[in-house]
């Protein structure tokens, strides 16, 4: 009997730019804390939301890597097209000048 492995879904470039919908982020609502200040009482705004969680950091790295890969690919394709154009022009010149 063969053991079946769960198939992993392939990740496309567009998937890296969209946030995952499987797990909604857990956020604490901002709170106001009463503090004493010179001349009376004031309020201090406290936001306990942590943006540097492991999941968001991994998603950020995946997005940055995808952007860098897209930029490198774009530059590579520009160079490749310039080389192929140069090659075709040189070949064209050799054929027509040589005959």
Q: pLDDT tens digits, residue range 59-88?
A: 888 999 999 999 999 999 999 999 999 999
21 Cβ contact partners less than 8 Å away, ≥ 6 residues apart: none
pLDDT higher than threshold 70 for residue 55: yes
HSE of 26, CA atoms in CB hemisphere, 13 A: 2
**What DSSP designation does 39 have?**
T
Question: Structural domain of residue 72, as residue ranges?
Answer: 54-98
Give 1's pLDDT tier (boundaries 50, 70, 90). Answer: very low
Q: How many domains does the chain have?
A: 1
Average pLDDT over residues 22-34: 56
Determine, yes or no, domain membership for 24: no
Determine, yes or no, domain membership for 48: no
Determine, yes or no, domain membership for 45: no
């Amino acid at each position: 009997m063969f053991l079946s492995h769960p198939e992993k879904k392939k990740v496309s470039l567009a998937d890296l730019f969209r946030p995952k919908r499987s797990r909604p982020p857990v956020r604490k609502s901002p709170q106001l804390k009463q503090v004493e200040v010179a001349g009376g009482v004031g309020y201090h705004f406290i936001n306990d939301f942590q943006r540097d969680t492991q999941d968001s950091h991994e998603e950020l790295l995946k997005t940055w890597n995808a952007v860098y890969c897209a930029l490198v690919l774009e530059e590579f394709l520009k160079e490749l097209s310039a080389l192929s154009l140069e090659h075709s022009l040189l070949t064209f010149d050799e054929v027509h000048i040589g005959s």
